[in-house]
Amino acid sequence: MMDWPNGFGLITFETIDSTNKEASRRVNETIQPTWILSYEQTSGIGRRGRRWSSQKGNFSATLLMPISGSLSTVALHSFVASLALRDTLIHITNEPERFSLKWPNDVLMDECKIAGILLETCGVGPSHLSIGIGVNLSVVPEANKIENLATPPTCLGIKILPIDFLEILAKYLAIRLNDFNASGFEKTRLDWLKSAANIGRTITARMPNSEIVGKFVTVDEEGALVLKADDIVHSIHAADIFF
């Protein structure tokens, strides 16, 4: 077992509405990065307010942390968290070739979605960032309960308790956060690109009122997805991605 990282708190629940909602309720009392873990969520949420299925046996947790530095870097923490998730899954399975990263905030196993990340700011200013993380450890969500149908879901299929998964994840995320804070986004960006799903291939970026089909070129220095379509280069900051 890995040691719990220094400077990080931990709060656990058997059942809760949402770990991200609980994070927002604890803003005024949280002065150090604090993990909130629940063994079951009754009202889990994903990107754009979609429902996130959170059955018992799967992993649902949020890291609540004070914001330091520029607000412009807050969204980049999805890349930090996805790398830490991949580190964790590789630590457990010792099978790095099975795990890839889907822009902007999903982790894939065998090209299927095993984990998702939701960033939310909260508090006055805002003052804090919540990094919500859901991982399908033992249960595959039913089709009508998953966030979207862009990528089929899967589960890890290895018996591991959520608290044990968190102990590993917390250590890796602390390491990745230290790298990000010390070196900026560039190292994180390059590490993320090494494991990016379908880079160099044709993908579809679907926005609320339009979509672009093009070659996935890279992720730029601001975390935007760069697509090349009909010799035009597009920088996309928010979209649903389809392979």
pLDDT at 53: 56
189 CB-near residues (< 8 Å, 6+ apart): 79, 219, 221, 223
Q: How confident is the model at residue 43 (pLDDT cuts 50, 70, 90)?
A: confident
Give the pTM.
Answer: 0.93
Find out whether 213 and 229 touch, Cβ atoms under 8 Å.
yes
Q: 3-state DSSP call for residue 29?
A: helix
- Report pLDDT for 46: 55
CA distance 107 to 83: 9
Among 141, 184, 171, 159, smallest CA distance to 51 is for 141
Phi then psi for residue 90, to 5 deg, are: -70, -40
Q: How far is CA 127 from CA 88, 130, 184, 234, in A?
A: 28, 10, 20, 32
How large is the average pLDDT for residues 25-38? 96
185-194 and 77-93 helices, crossing angle to 10° = 50
- The dihedrals phi and psi of 196, each to the nearest 5 degrees, come to -70, 135
For range 101-118, the mean pLDDT = 96
pLDDT in tens, 120-131: 999 999 999 999
In whole angstroms, give the CA distance from residue 193 to residue 187: 10
pLDDT digits (tens, 9 = 90+) for 64-96: 999 988 888 999 999 999 999 999 999 999 999
- Residue 236 has φ and ψ, to the nearest 5°, of -115, 125
What is the structure's pLDDT at 50? 52
Confidence of residue 137 (pLDDT cuts 50, 70, 90): very high
Tell me the two tokens of residue 186: 């560039």
pLDDT in tens, 144-195: 555 555 689 999 999 999 999 999 999 999 999 999 999 999 999 999 999 9
Does a cis peptide bond (omega within 30 degrees of 0) precede residue 152? no
Residues 59, 163: Cα–Cα separation, whole Å = 8
Tally of CA atoms within 13 A in the half-sphere of 49 that contains its CB: 0
| Residue environment code for 110-134, b if the CB has 16+ CB neighbours within 10 A, otherwise e | eeebbbbbbbbbbbeeeebbbbbbb
- Report how far apart the first and last C-alpha atoms of the chain are (Å, whole number): 37
Distance of CA 73 to the CA centre of its chain: 15
Domains assigned to the chain: 9-194 (3.30.930.10), 202-242 (2.30.30.100)
pLDDT band of residue 1 (cuts 50, 70, 90) is: very low
- The pLDDT, as a whole number, for residue 55 is 77
What pLDDT sits at residue 68? 87
Whole-number pLDDT of residue 48: 47
pLDDT of residue 149: 55
Q: What is the mean pLDDT of residues 30-54?
A: 77
Distances in whole angstroms, Cα of residue 191 to Cα of each of 77, 176, 187: 13, 10, 6
